[in-house]
């Protein structure tokens, strides 16, 4: 797999964002904020970080990417399509009868999806079990697991955190989408998660905090995680939910709604997709860290 440059990755992320908007509009349901917020991470994963082959999804030596918060699957589907797993046109079948692109991803429906997910808190444990088995057999590939911040409210997740630390699963890298929102509101109002860094450290994980929209930081963090042999690593990626679409950014109301939803105070539902796509195109792949 050819490794894209930072600039190319930023352009790819923006194409993925446009795909996400188009898919969600066509589907008429689904989640907007999470997928848009994770477009940079997924572009980096599929076009730089992961060792994979889109024409051979079952390649034995591939890195495994488990998506724990299955509801952000539009971003994974879009990244996979752009990477050549299936035609981009198939993205428009999302959530429709007979589609391989289920509303929440299913391993048996779409090659390359790795596991079935949606119910929260179970992905890290599956990734950890996978990493454990691979380590038993001395396999070299890495296991990545993308999780949401909200699912850190699930006990199952912390069972996996303990398990991975106990068995020093250094072949496992978790990436937390720290976007601060969940369906009912802001995470710190619903059930506070902070201090996340200290929590993971207390559970004997290595912790790296990054700006989840800064390609270089995303790449550097996963590279650093590969060099840590003592324990598993969690990358806490601070992201802006809805990133790239001004009226969605940072607003929890866009967690579980597609463009085209009547939400008081937002653009009219017929205009939303148009505005979103215009903004994304105007940015022209120049989405950069807010801190730069």
Partner 1 sequence: MLNMKLKLNNKLFDEDVEQSPTRNGYGEGLVIAGEKDPNVVVLCADLTESTRSNFFKEKFPGRFVEMGVAEQGMATVAAGMANYGKIPFISSYAAFSPGRNWEQIRTTIALNDVPVKIAGAHAGLTVGPDGATHQMLEDIALMRAMPNMIVIYPADSIEAKKATIAAATNGKPTYIRLAREKTPIVTIEATPFKIGKAEVFWTSKDPQVAIIASGPLLYEALLAAKELTGSHPVIVLNCHTIKPIDEQTIIHAAKICGAVVTVEEHQIMGGLGGAVAELLSKNIPTPQEFIGMPDCFGESGQPDELLEKYHMKAKDIMEAVKKAIVRKNS
- Give me the residues that bind partner 1 (CB under 8 A), please: 66, 106-108, 114-119, 121-122, 125-134, 136, 155-156, 159-160, 162-163
Instruction: Say how far apart CA 172 and CA 283 lie, in whole Å.
Output: 34
Name the residue nearer to partner 1 (CB basis): 135 or 269.
135
Alpha-carbon Rg for the chain in angstroms: 18
For residue 156, the minimal CB distance to partner 1 (Å) is 4
| Residue (of 151, 109, 153, 130) closest to 65 by Cα position | 130
Name the residue nearer to partner 1 (CB basis): 167 or 247.
167
The partner residues of 238 in beta bridges, in order of sequence, read 178, 211
| Residue (of 107, 120, 118) closest to 73 by Cα position | 118
For residue 16, the minimal CB distance to partner 1 (Å) is 26
Assess contact for 177 and 147: CB atoms under 8 A.
Answer: yes
For residue 247, the minimal CB distance to partner 1 (Å) is 34
Name the residue nearer to partner 1 (CB basis): 162 or 191.
162
For residue 111, the minimal CB distance to partner 1 (Å) is 13
For residue 152, the minimal CB distance to partner 1 (Å) is 14
For residue 204, the minimal CB distance to partner 1 (Å) is 14
Name the residue nearer to partner 1 (CB basis): 125 or 218.
125
Name the residue nearer to partner 1 (CB basis): 80 or 161.
161
Q: Is 84 helix (H, G, I), strand (E, B) or coil?
A: coil
Name the residue nearer to partner 1 (CB basis): 115 or 231.
115
Instruction: State residue 206 phi and psi, 5-degree precision.
Output: -85, 140
Q: What is the DSSP-derived secondary structure letter of residue 63?
A: P
Instruction: State residue 80 phi and psi, 5-degree precision.
Output: -65, -40
Phi-psi group of 191: left, alpha or beta (phi > 0 → left; psi -120 to 50 → alpha; rest → beta): beta
């Amino acid at each position: 797999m050819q490794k894209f440059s930072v600039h190319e990755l930023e352009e790819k992320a923006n194409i993925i964002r446009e795909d996400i908007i188009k898919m969600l509009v066509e589907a008429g349901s689904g989640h907007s904020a999470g997928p848009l917020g994770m477009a940079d991470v997924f572009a980096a994963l599929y076009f730089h970080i992961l060792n994979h082959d889109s024409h051979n999804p079952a390649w034995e030596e591939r890195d495994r990417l488990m998506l724990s918060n299955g509801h952000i699957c539009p971003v994974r589907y879009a990244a996979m399509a752009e990477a050549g797993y299936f035609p981009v046109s198939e993205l428009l079948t999302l959530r429709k009868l007979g589609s391989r692109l289920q509303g929440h991803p299913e391993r048996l429906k779409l090659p390359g999806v790795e596991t079935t997910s949606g119910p929260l808190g179970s992905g890290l444990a599956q990734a950890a079990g996978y990493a454990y088995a691979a380590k038993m057999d001395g396999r070299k590939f890495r296991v990545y697991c993308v999780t949401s911040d909200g699912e850190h409210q699930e006990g199952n997740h912390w069972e996996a955190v303990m398990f991975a630390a106990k068995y020093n699963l250094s072949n496992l890298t978790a990436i937390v989408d720290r976007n601060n929102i969940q369906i009912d509101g802001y995470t710190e109002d619903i059930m506070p998660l902070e201090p996340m860094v200290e929590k993971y450290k207390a559970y004997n994980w290595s912790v790296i905090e990054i700006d989840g929209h800064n390609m270089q930081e995303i790449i550097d963090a996963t590279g650093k995680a590969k060099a840590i042999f003592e324990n598993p690593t969690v990358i806490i990626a601070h992201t802006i939910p809805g990133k790239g679409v001004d009226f969605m950014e940072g607003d929890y109301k866009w967690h579980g709604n597609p463009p085209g939803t009547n939400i008081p105070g937002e653009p009219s539902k017929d205009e939303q997709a148009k505005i979103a796509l215009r903004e994304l195109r105007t940015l022209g792949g120049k989405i950069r860290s807010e801190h730069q």
